Every structure is written in structure tokens, then in C-alpha cells.
Structure 1
Amino acid sequence: MSKNKALVGAAAVVLVAAGVTWAVVGRGAGAVEVSVEKAARGPLEVTVSAAGSVAPGTKADIFPPAAGTLASIEVSEGQQVKAGDVIAVMDTRPLELQVAQAQAAYDAALAQADAVGQQQPSSADEKAASAAVTAAWSAYQAAAKQYELVSSGGVSDPAALQQAQTAVTLAQAAYDAAAAAYDAYKASVYDPAPEPKDPTIVEALEALESAKQQAADALAAAQANLAALTSAGANPTAVASAKAARDQAWAAYQAALAQQEKLARADTRKARSSAAAGVEAARQALEYAAGVLERATLRAPIDGTVLFNSATAALPASALGGSGGGAAGGEPVVGSAVSPASAPFTVVALDDLTFEAQVDEADVVNVKPGMKATVVLDSLPGRSFATTVERIGTASVVTPTGGTAFPVVFRLANAKETVLLGMNGTAEIVVESLQDVLSVPIEAVLDDAGTSYVYTVRDGKAKRVEVTTGRMTETRAEIVSGLTAGDEVIVGGLSSVKDGAAVKVK
């Protein structure tokens, strides 16, 4: 629990000084020797006291851009530097290799994107597919007429034979067109495409292959039909052959349509988009690797003083000291392993210092930014720093005694020449200022089962007087009722005083 402390004004001090009585009163043999002070009216400041230490107001940790080792250190600890000055340089050989690898990956991504850009089906591929559809439709029409003739018994008609021969010719043309479309697409689009093949390209080639097979089946059926007409005349076998030829011709036509549609959809927008994304990712990786290489030269981000931290652990602000606070792992030296997880160097502005106090959780609710405060450092007992509350931390800390406190920060002005980082001290925060109250020294107020009282001196005797207290500070107690200004209260020798006992004031 923090202590409270009251500061009385000059007028009150005069009254108190005037209230000390040196005359000897009641010189009876059994009189108790006491010291007294007068109850006085005046200003009273209620404060919250908290211990803390000096910390940098402005500091900048210097983190390596990647894991590696230090090739050189260009400054000494405590050296004054300007923003941009070189602090240390990392071994850049591994980083240069990473840049070279990133460059190679970027070049490969560009080549991939260029290859994808050349995969769009050509007008020749589209014309071949269109020709296959036209030929397949003609073959189907011929096969359908042939089936009608055969099923109606007209097989002896020379026209039926002529129709069958025409169906074979058209089926042959449909097959040739389908084969040409397949071969052209495979040679100009599918084969040049890089692995893995884009799914749309694979699907289009499969459709062309299916159309080619359907056309081959239709040709075989037309040829079988013609053979049946030539050898057997009107019979069920001829009818079945003609029907099969018609059905195969229809299937070939449908396949040709499907392959034409898929070929039309087989643009490379998706593949180009994927390739473009690959190029962008590779570009960013190259840019990052180049940036890491550039930042391998560690520079001061601000003007200030260089502190060396542990090479393996970041230095907390509260632990900063004049020596830089080398922790486990030691201060950085040439060859030290470093990583982005910790800052081997810190630059602090010694002309911008703060005092960070740990205020008890019971008191921090009364502290507000802007409140006046005074900081006294243990190493500079004859000097105090007038300041104000700058900010109050929102995250609690555990005190050395196991209590809960909150960090409160004060700015220290004109402290550069005498104050060092890590110096310990105490902050007194004025949480309430009373202008005209009646108060007595805190030691004059006693308690009896919850009732507050004081001993006054009247006619050489001690008199117990019950009082009502207000604000209680470390040195003064506000008296709300029971006393008036000028009343003498006993502050020394109280252990031997009883109500009505004879006393003498020393």
C-alpha cells in the first residue's frame, strides 16, 4: 500500500512554529513531560507516493531484418550517433544468395506467364473444329436417309446403294476433319503448354479426341452398312447396319459440337490469371529479399546514445541502465548470432527522460493525467523535479512484494546532465489540494474502538477530546470537528498521558 503525505503551506508552518510552547506548565512532581503543537488552518495537499526508476522517454530498438551474424560493429557503447549512422553490419553472404534465388524464381515466373500467353487457340484451330461439325452433320443426314431407304425395303434401288456410298464418303470427311482438329490443337496448344497442364486445355484436348473417336465409329458403321447392302440385299442385317450407321453419325455430330464448344471455352484466362499471380508473388519475394539485404546494414533510427543489449534477448525499457544491461547471452560482438526476435542495439535520447513509478492499484484510481507531481531520486537527495502525470499504463505489473500496481509515467525536464537511466526514486503525486482546512500532526490523532481523539493541554492537565477526522495523510490529519485553530494538542510523550493527568510542556 502506498503512503500518503501532506504538505502544509507557509502560513500553516508559521502557525505550527508559533504553537510550540516552551514554558513549563504544572511543575508538579508527578507531571508528565510532553511536547505540543497547535491546531492550524491552512492549505493541505493530499498526495500518493510511489517508487520507480528513470527510463528513456524516446528510444528506438534496432532489430536485424533476418537471422544471421554480425560481421562488424561500427560504434562503441555510449557513443552519440545521428539518425542514419551505421551501427553494425551483418554478414551479407547468405542474404545475397537469397536475393539470387528470388531473382531466379521471378525470371521463371515471367517465362511461365509468357508461355501461358501463347496458349490461346488459334483461328486455324477454330476453323478445323467448325469443319468437323459441318462434316459430321452432313454424314448424319446421309446416314439418316440411308436408314429410311433400307427400312422401307428400297435396298434394290440403285439410289440406295448410291446413298450408302455417299454416307461412307461423308463419314470419311467427318473423320478427317475431326482428326485434323485434334492434331492441330494438340500440336499448337496442348504440347507447348508447360507442366502442369491447365485443366481447361486438358479438357479441350479430351473433347477433340472423343469427337475424333466418334467420327471413326461413324465411318466404320457407314462402311459396314454399305457392305451389308452390297452383299445381302434387303434383310434385317442391312436394316440394323443402316440404323447403327445413323446412330453413330449422330453421336459423331454431337461429339463434334461438344468439342467445338469446349474449344471455344478453352481460353487461358484462368491460366493467365494464375501465372500473373505467380509473377506478383515472385516479385514481392524478390523485393523482400532485396530489402532484407539492404537493411543488413543496421543504422540508427534516431539521434541519441547507443546502448548494447543482449544479443539473444530484447532489453525491456524498465531494465535500461548506463551499462546497457547485458543479459544472458552477452552483449553483441563481431560474430554474434542475431535474429529479428531481439534488438542487439538500442538508441536512446538522454535529453528526453521519464520517470516510471508503480502506483498501487488502490491509489491509481485517484491519479489522472496532468496532475502535479514531484520526483526525488535516491542518488540526488538534495534535488527534486517538478513534473506532471503524463500517462497511466492500462496493464498491471507485479511489485517486488507481490502486490498489484500500474505504471505511471512522468516527464523529467532539465535532467540530462545529472540523471542517468535506471536511477531509483519516489514520485509524490498531488491528487487533491485543499486551500483552508484545520489540521494537526498525524501523530496527535489516536483511536479507541473506532473513535478518534486527541489530548489537549488545558490548565496544566491533559484533556481527552473526541474529534472527527477528514483526509488523512502521512504527516497531517484534517480535523472536521472537535477542535478550533490554536488548540494545543499533545504530539510527544503520549504513551504516558491519561485524561486529567498533570503535564508539563517541554
Structure 2
Amino acid sequence: MSGSPRRAAVLLVACVLLPPLTAASCGDEPSGVTVGTAGRGTVDEIVEASGAVTARAAGTVTAPAEGTLALLRVDAGDRVRKGQVVAVVDSPAARKRLDAAAEARDAASAGGVPTGGGAAGFTAARQRTDASAGKAFAEAREAAGEITDETLRTALLAQLDAAREQYAAVSAAADAAVRSLERGVASVGEAVAALSAAQRVQARQAYDLAKAAVDALTLRAPVSGVVQLGGTAAAGTPSLTDLIAGADPAAAGAPAARAPLPGVDVAVPEGAAVGPGTPILTVVDTGGLGVAAEVDETDVLLVKPGGTGTIELDAAAGATYEAKVRAVDLLPTTSARGGVSYRVRLTLGRGTYADGSPAPGPRPGMSAIVRLRVRQAADAVTVPAGAVVSSDGRNVVWAVRGGKAERVAVSLGVQGEDVVQVVSGLDAGQRIVVAGADQVSAGQDLP
């Protein structure tokens, strides 16, 4: 809050609340000097910051592979539970890989390791098995890399790494058996058994990885909450790359992207073509709304977890919401103007209008003004903020003694928006200049 509005508010309060003789001076005193008294009361120190309403969590469900949105089980505004099936993507390529892997698995289970050709035949068979395993691992990694859901992608990559390690062990055993056969140490039966085990493991792993990719086509809600169709892309002017991709997907290397048209819903309908990463829907958990505020470095040390405050929203003029500090970040953020601030996270409570009627529930992303009560002084000697002036590096107040102005040095405590606490230098009831203090000089006659 700037100095002028604060002083204007103090002047108005002073004129309304001062004794009759002093109140008349508000309108009759040509110099604008107003005399009142030091009071006693409670002072709240407020830290003000800008912020935005935040949801507890949100997650966007995207297509894991190129295909068609075969089924959309929810609509905008529906409430879903975490893990609930919300959509199914049909990917012919993924299903084709699964069918091929199933055939290879069945063939490996039936045997087929050559017993002719001696050790050279076994070596060639092992090399073909290694090549098949490498191809299956590469395809699985490529499929996992196209998934934008970090949790699902991480799970598939972990499964892939475990399969690779397991196959490496059986492949090494098969290689040792073949080498032993070449040296005449092992029998043909031992080599056949080792190589058959490697082939079965490779085929089963290829099938499991392909099935995991197909299972990923069944999309589930990442969190519990409310459905919003499409992704969360910010509105704005499309970039040149976006325009090129919309006109010719191949030109920008994009997989069949649909160019949004004015007035057309950008949500993907059932039956539409999708590519890896195409946003299908977003689930927003609005069960516990909060506010993230950016507090300047000069104030953040006063803010403590558990502290309380109020929130005002641009979208709900006249309403005030309760808030409680949940946490204060340790690392700073830098504003566009170069200032350093720290993010303070608050729990958002209920809101009311001045008449006591309930305020509407806010939505994530709404702009907010946060006022945090960081310190309080109860039963304190108080003066209007405009009564305190700086002189020679000290805080002073003009006291009225014997009808004349006298400069009194004061020590300040908690400083509110309109009033401040005087720790020493004044007593409650002392007559002082509450406005126009910059126009007063020592010894000046005052009412």
C-alpha cells in the first residue's frame, strides 16, 4: 500500500474520532495539521503479497502411442477416482507387436534349438536369440519413451531394465555352455538346455514388454478429482512451429496433430486419431484448494508456518477468504523485475462477503492478494502511522504540551497498515499531531 492512501485513511479516522475541539480543526485549520491523542489497542502487522489459487494436484492423461481414441468413458465435469479407467486408445502397431511376441513365445516354448552343426550351430542360435532380445528391448524402450505420463513411463522403463538384466544372466549362461561344448567339457544336452532357457526367457520378456505397452493403452485417472477435457496449454498466440505443424504435421515432425480452429472445441472426441503425447483429458483435485504467494525477501523472515491471514480475489470483489500458512519455501524465485521473493504456500479456507453471506468457491489459477498477519501487539500504546515522522535518523512524534508542539523521540514495535505500536516515548492519552506532522515546527502553537 502506498503512503498516500494510508495517510488519507488515517486522516479520515482522525477527523471522525477526535474530540469536538480537535475535530473542528480538520476542516478549519488552514495548514492541514490535525491534533488527536495516543490511544491503546491491538496492532496487527501485515505482510502483503500477490499470489494465485492452486489445486491440491492435477494430472493430464495423454495417448501413449499413435492410434485412435477408441473409448472415452467420462465427460467434462465428471468426478473420478484415482486409477479409474477413463479412456482406451486403439493402437494397431502396438497390438501387432503383441501378436508377434505371442507367436514367438509359443514357438520358444515348443523348442527348436538346432542340435546339428556342432558348436557352430549353437553359437549361431545364441547370436540370433541375442539379436531378437536386443530388438525387443529397443522396441520396448522406444514405446516407453513416447509416453508423456512420467509415472507410467518410469514403470515401463523399470520393467525393461529388469528384463534386460535377467536376460543378460541367462544369455551369459548359454554362452558359457556353448564354450564348454567347444572345449569338450560340456555335453550337447547341457548346451541345448542352456540355450533353450535363454530363448524362452527372451520370448517371454518380449511378450511381457509388448503386453505392458498394450495395457498402457487403457488410460486411468492419475489422481482423484474433476475431469477437464483436453490438456492445460496456456492460451496465447500460436508459434510459427505450431502453425507449421497444424498445416502440415510432417513438416514439423509432429504425429498427425489436429490444428485448433476458432470456435471449435479442441478436446479429442471418440474415434479421433491421436499421437504419442496427445492430451486426452486432465483431472484436477479441488478437494483442498490453496494459495501460492510470492513474499518479498524483506518480509519473508516474519512469515511462519501456522500463521493466519486473509485472501482477496479479483474474481470475487468484496469477498474475504481465510488462509493459513502451510509452508515457506527455502529456495527463492526471481521476479521479472529482478527482485528476490520466496513462495509461501497457504491453505485456503471459506470466504464471506461483508454482509456475512458465503462467497463462491474459487478456481485454480485465480489471482489473489494475500495479507498475512505476522506480528501482533495487544493492549499497546498506539498512534496513527501518519503521526510518525523521521528526523535525524530517529522516529519522532509531535506532542502537544502547553499548547505548543514538542518533538518526542519514540521507539516503535509492531507496525500495522493504519496504526503503529509505540514501545517507549509516549503514554496513552497524550495529545499528539496525527496528520500534517511534516508541517509542524518546534514551539508552534497548536489547539
Does the TM-score normalized on the shorter chain lie above 0.5? yes
With over 3 angstroms needed to count, the CA separation of the structure-2 counterparts of 1:194 and 1:480, relative to structure 1, is same
* 1:226-245 matched pairs, under 5 angstroms: none
Tell me which of 449, 456, 475 is aligned to 2:418: 475
Q: CA deviation at 1:84?
A: 5.9
CA distance in 1, matches of 2:2, 2:56: 25
Spell out, residue by residue over 1:48-71, the C-alpha distance to the aligned partner (whole angstroms, 9 max, x if none). 222111121243332433455545
| Structure 2 equivalent of residue 295 of structure 1 | 216
Tell me which of 292, 296, 300 is aligned to 1:364: 300
CA distance in 2, matches of 1:61, 1:19: 57
Kept in 2: contact 1:115–1:194 (CA 8 A): no
TM-score norm. by structure 1 comes to 0.58
Matched, 1:263 2:193: no
Kept in 1: contact 2:377–2:414 (CA 8 A): no
Tell me which of 403, 407, 426 is aligned to 2:339: 403
With over 3 angstroms needed to count, the CA separation of the structure-2 counterparts of 1:481 and 1:368, relative to structure 1, is closer
Matched, 1:437 2:358: no
| Structure 2 equivalent of residue 376 of structure 1 | 312
Percent of aligned positions with the same letter in both sequences?
29
Spell out, residue by residue over 1:371-408, the C-alpha distance to the aligned partner (whole angstroms, 9 max, x if none). 22222222324322223112333443333433222222
* 1:31-430 matched pairs, under 5 angstroms: 32-66=31-65, 68=67, 70-71=69-70, 73=72, 75-81=74-80, 87-107=86-106, 110=109, 114=111, 191=121, 195-196=125-126, 262-265=183-186, 276=197, 279-280=200-201, 282-310=203-231, 331-334=266-269, 335=272, 337-340=274-277, 343-414=279-350, 417-430=360-373
- Alpha-carbon RMSD: 4.1
Q: Which letter maps to 2:390?
A: D
Spell out, residue by residue over 1:216-266, the C-alpha distance to the aligned partner (whole angstroms, 9 max, x if none). xxxxxxxxxxxxxxxxxxxxxxxxxxxxxxxxxxxxxxxxxxxxxx42345
Q: CA deviation at 1:37?
A: 3.6
Matched, 1:21 2:19: yes
Kept in 2: contact 1:309–1:326 (CA 8 A): no
Q: Structure 1 residues 283-292 or 447-456, which shifts more?
A: 283-292
Q: CA deviation at 1:31?
A: 7.1
Kept in 1: contact 2:181–2:188 (CA 8 A): no
Kept in 1: contact 2:55–2:290 (CA 8 A): yes
CA distance in 2, matches of 1:436, 1:16: 20
Spell out, residue by residue over 1:339-362, the C-alpha distance to the aligned partner (whole angstroms, 9 max, x if none). 35x754221133431112112233
Q: Which letter maps to 2:406?
A: K
Spell out, residue by residue over 1:484-506, the C-alpha distance to the aligned partner (whole angstroms, 9 max, x if none). 111122222234222222234xx
Q: Which has the higher helix share?
A: 1
Kept in 1: contact 2:399–2:432 (CA 8 A): yes
Q: CA deviation at 1:481?
A: 1.8
| Structure 2 equivalent of residue 252 of structure 1 | none
Kept in 1: contact 2:36–2:431 (CA 8 A): yes
Kept in 2: contact 1:82–1:303 (CA 8 A): yes
For structure 2, the residue ranges without an aligned partner over 5 or more in a row are 7-12, 128-173, 243-259, 261-265, 352-358
Matched, 1:499 2:442: yes
With over 3 angstroms needed to count, the CA separation of the structure-2 counterparts of 1:277 and 1:403, relative to structure 1, is farther
Q: CA deviation at 1:81?
A: 4.4
| Structure 2 equivalent of residue 256 of structure 1 | none
Q: Secondary structure at the match of 2:426?
A: coil
Q: Structure 1 residues 426-435 or 408-417, which shifts more?
A: 408-417
Larger radius of gyration: 1
Q: Secondary structure at the match of 1:503?
A: coil
TM-score norm. by structure 2 comes to 0.65
Q: CA deviation at 1:450?
A: 0.9
For structure 1, the residue ranges without an aligned partner over 5 or more in a row are 7-14, 120-185, 207-261, 320-324
CA distance in 1, matches of 2:196, 2:384: 84
Q: CA deviation at 1:452?
A: 1.4
Kept in 2: contact 1:21–1:36 (CA 8 A): no
How many residue pairs are counted as aligned between the two chains? 357
Q: Structure 1 residues 80-89 or 45-54, which shifts more?
A: 80-89
Q: CA deviation at 1:445?
A: 1.0
| Structure 2 equivalent of residue 122 of structure 1 | none
CA distance in 1, matches of 2:108, 2:100: 12
| Structure 2 equivalent of residue 160 of structure 1 | none
Spell out, residue by residue over 1:286-324, the C-alpha distance to the aligned partner (whole angstroms, 9 max, x if none). 3333233233233334443222444xxx65xxx7xxxxx
